[in-house]
Structure 1
Amino acid sequence: MRALVVHPDIKADRARREPGPALEEAVALAAALPDLEVADALIVGLPKAQPGLLFGTGKIAELKDRIKAQDIGLVLIDGPVTPVQQRNLEKEWGVKLLDRTGLILEIFADRAATREGVLQVELAALSYQRTRLVRAWTHLERQRGGLGFVGGPGETQIEADRRAIDEAVVRIRRQLARVVKTRALHRKARKKIPYPIVALVGYTNAGKSTLFNHLTGAEVLAKDMLFATLDPTMRAVSLPDGTDVILSDTVGFISDLPTQLVAAFRATLEEVLDADLIVHVRDISHPKTEEQAGDVVKILRDLGVAETAPLIEVWNKMDRVPPETAEALRTMAERREGVFAVSALTGEGLPAMLAAVAQTLAPPRHVSQVALAHSDGKRRAWLFGQGVVEGEEPGETETVLRVLWTDRQEQAFRRL
């Protein structure tokens, strides 16, 4: 289906986004839907939104000609559209219309893979549809009788539809409660495994899934499109120092994501709540990388994890940056603590980043004096193999080693 993407640049809107980048993001969103071809995209400047039609009559006529000339079947409005505006515009243009929330819901519905993800999409879609029943039933001509048990005689179709949606919401919430309970049990079991969790977070299309695949060898969907990952994927990974961690790839964040959709996808962010370390992946080649990073930090703060879990910042897609800019970025990253310039495609900067991950997750160490008989070669070799020996003082019958180790290493040594 051919689509027209329209970004209404409403001057009176306090939450107004910069129109150029906003339109680019809207086109990228549309491209994330299969079988959809973006035929045209434009910015429409408006002093204020018109209550019934959003646009003025002249602009509506102009857009109608554009729609007919290019054989458009779907108009995507990058912003909120009221049910009345949607009904009126569809009638004027003779095509289907989706606003920003509707488009994101369509993408979520197409991508959700786990049982919980599917249920969360259905829940968000139902609450969205409930507010838009006016599209289908604008008068009270269609009525149905009843026995008085439910709804009663003379119930209008819009009331019946609303009640059906409410019943479906209750049913899905029950199913969701069971799924969430199962997930909670899985999380509880996972906590018994002595592996720390490293969560990859970032703005959508920042390259999290590509980085995840590079580090784990997994084949998670990694495409140059928004919302390529909608369900958390977890894999065990061994860091260069031998530390085993669980790496989690999560849904990408996006600016102005409707609150009901953030709530609907809390499941995909649950792994972030349990994370021992958050790796914030940024597309450093994007012109709005600073604004995107701000959106991610805000959501992390809203989730309550920004202040609790340590965070490493990864400037990804260095391979897309011009050479002179790349050099400046590398210098800047080196001067900042916890910041790494990398390319998930080429592998640039990943060893240093992984070393920092291992160091951040390293358990506390303590110093001990260990006396070993000269004949105790096995335990001596083990200590040196662990890299914990900081010094030694040979004696006549034994050698005293100064070791810096973790509690777990000490317990393993005592068992030898």
Structure 2
Amino acid sequence: MTTGFERDRDDFARGARAIVVLPDQGNASRDADARLAETAGLALAIGVEVVEKIAFRVRAPKPATLIGSGQVEQLAAQVRMEEAGLVVIDGSLTPVQQRNLETALEAKVIDRTGLILEIFGERAATAEGRLQVELAHLDYQAGRLVRSWTHLERQRGGFGFLGGPGETQIEADRRLIRDRMARLRKELDQVSRTRGLHRDRRQRAPWPIIALVGYTNAGKSTLFNRLTGADVMAEDLLFATLDPTLRQISLPGIDKAILSDTVGFVSELPTQLVAAFKATLEEVVSADLLIHVRDIAHPDTEAQRADVESVLAEIGVSETTPRFEAWNKLDLLDDDARADATADAARRDDVVALSAMTGEGVDVLVREVAAKLTAGHRRYTIRLDAGDGAAAAWLHQHGEVLGSDTQGDTAIYDVRMSPADYDRFEQR
């Protein structure tokens, strides 16, 4: 049964006319136009129609409204002219700033964190993803209480705050939020334990884990699909992938490896989401190798790289974890930029330039990843009874059989494998 609030929210969110505002505080690492375009893309991801993008120079943030009073008046006039029902502030707003801006602009106002949470709320496809998003949203809303939380049991997931303000029974609401968050954390702890058991089982097997990481919309899912033949959602859309996907692949010298597609990162990723998605991101922490997929055609590609590395450090990924950078979207570069990127990548042993869309360079990445994962492998000469098919199959599955010969009742195999696998073979 759909509640009145849910109907209001859907009517408002889908097709709402919105103005995107960047309070520019002179952050030199980011291009203002690119930042506005990214936030407009985030709004588009929930079906909002962006009718205007505005950057305001903010020398000193105002405690009451973030931007200056003259800028508020200018924005209010723009809201009226465009008949906008939503204003997206590309920054963080305090509850007081959000409330004051809504009063002055006579429109709904959300900040960057709220917008990202809204997208995650719509996109989470699995029960685990919904739990994570709801926990993150409750954590964010706890200090705001812009609507009643007394109907949590009847609302889907507890996220989605583009609707009306509702009633305000603040103490009861706070208690409901605390209780609901405690239940969610308990459920997520169970999810994390289950995922840990699965991960332990995989780690006992000899298969290496490879995780694709990168900024949102860098092309991770397109590369994942090309490497695995899977059909994961891959669109020119921010946060197209939220729930992790694991697939088995074969690499030169490696019969089986596990490839993981993960949620994309973004600048100023809400801390609530980093914490809530910890169970999902544990796949990245435990990976044997990371492939950092970068949109090399994006004007802020270097800043995006720094954002991804920052989040990886925040979730506990070791700096010693082997990694490659896949400079993706070569097909979007002009001839000169493409030649420069290809030459730069060729000079480094941890970078491969490619196009996941066309397939150019993907075979090089596969070879490089296989070489990195097998770098510690050695050659062994192993003698078996010619009739021991199970042992021969084990060698083919866990190592690279370079050659074989039969002398009477003895089969001789020349095999390249890791010392750990050789020890396990000897213990069979």
Q: For residue 286 of structure 1, report the CA deviation from its aligned partner.
A: 0.8
Which amino acid in the other structure matches residue 96 of structure 1? K
Equivalent residue number for residue 195 of structure 2: 183
Supply the distance in 1 between the matched residues of 2:188 and 2:304 (Cα, whole angstroms). 31
User: Mapping of 1:23-38 within 5 angstroms?
Assistant: 23-34=36-47, 36-38=48-50
Q: Deviations over 1:62-118 (max 9, x none)?
A: 211211111111100000111111111111222111011100110111111222221
Supply the distance in 2 between the matched residues of 1:206 and 1:190 (Cα, whole angstroms). 28
- Given candidates 75, 91, 98, the residue that maps to 2:87 is 75
Q: Deviations over 1:293-315 (max 9, x none)?
A: 11212222233324232111111
The answer to whether residue 24 in structure 2 is matched with residue 9 in structure 1 is: yes
User: Mapping of 1:140-159 within 5 angstroms?
Assistant: 157-159=169-171
Which amino acid in the other structure matches residue 80 of structure 2? K
Supply the distance in 2 between the matched residues of 1:201 and 1:158 (Cα, whole angstroms). 40
Percent identical pairs in the alignment equals 49
Q: For residue 179 of structure 1, report the CA deviation from its aligned partner.
A: 2.1
Supply the distance in 2 between the matched residues of 1:77 and 1:414 (Cα, whole angstroms). 62
The answer to whether residue 364 in structure 2 is matched with residue 388 in structure 1 is: no
Which amino acid in the other structure matches residue 388 of structure 1? L
TM-score by length of 1: 0.83
Conserved 8 A contact 1:279-1:314: yes
Relative to structure 1, the CA distance from residue 241 to residue 50 in structure 2 (aligned partners, 3 Å threshold; closer, same or farther) is same
Query: Which runs of structure 1 show a deviation greater than 4 angstroms over 4 or more consecutive aligned residues?
Result: 14-18, 367-373, 381-387, 397-402, 407-415
The answer to whether residue 332 in structure 2 is matched with residue 320 in structure 1 is: yes
The answer to whether residue 363 in structure 2 is matched with residue 347 in structure 1 is: no
Supply the distance in 2 between the matched residues of 1:314 and 1:2 (Cα, whole angstroms). 37
SS at match of 1:42: strand
SS at match of 2:320: coil
Q: For residue 15 of structure 1, report the CA deviation from its aligned partner.
A: 9.4
The structure having more radius of gyration, on CA atoms, is: 1
Which amino acid in the other structure matches residue 7 of structure 1? L
Conserved 8 A contact 1:243-1:358: no
Supply the distance in 2 between the matched residues of 1:337 and 1:267 (Cα, whole angstroms). 32
- How large is the Cα RMSD of the aligned pairs? 3.4
Equivalent residue number for residue 116 of structure 1: 128
Q: For residue 17 of structure 1, report the CA deviation from its aligned partner.
A: 4.8
Equivalent residue number for residue 89 of structure 1: 101
Equivalent residue number for residue 405 of structure 1: 416
Supply the distance in 1 between the matched residues of 2:273 and 2:250 (Cα, whole angstroms). 34
Equivalent residue number for residue 289 of structure 1: 301
Equivalent residue number for residue 225 of structure 1: 237
Of 398-407 and 338-347, more deviation after overlay is shown by 398-407
Relative to structure 1, the CA distance from residue 372 to residue 118 in structure 2 (aligned partners, 3 Å threshold; closer, same or farther) is closer
Conserved 8 A contact 2:380-2:415: yes
Equivalent residue number for residue 141 of structure 1: none
- Given candidates 20, 24, 32, the residue that maps to 2:33 is 20
Of 231-240 and 180-189, more deviation after overlay is shown by 180-189
Q: For residue 224 of structure 1, report the CA deviation from its aligned partner.
A: 1.0
Which amino acid in the other structure matches residue 256 of structure 2? D
Supply the distance in 2 between the matched residues of 1:205 and 1:361 (Cα, whole angstroms). 27
Conserved 8 A contact 2:29-2:303: no
Supply the distance in 2 between the matched residues of 1:87 and 1:316 (Cα, whole angstroms). 42
Relative to structure 1, the CA distance from residue 361 to residue 45 in structure 2 (aligned partners, 3 Å threshold; closer, same or farther) is same
Conserved 8 A contact 2:23-2:55: yes
Equivalent residue number for residue 4 of structure 2: none
Which amino acid in the other structure matches residue 247 of structure 2? R
Q: Deviations over 1:300-346 (max 9, x none)?
A: 22333242321111110000111121112112211111210110011
Segments of structure 2 that go 5 or more residues without pairing to the other structure are 1-15, 149-167
Which amino acid in the other structure matches residue 358 of structure 1? A
Which amino acid in the other structure matches residue 37 of structure 2? E
User: Mapping of 1:252-291 within 5 angstroms?
Assistant: 252-291=264-303
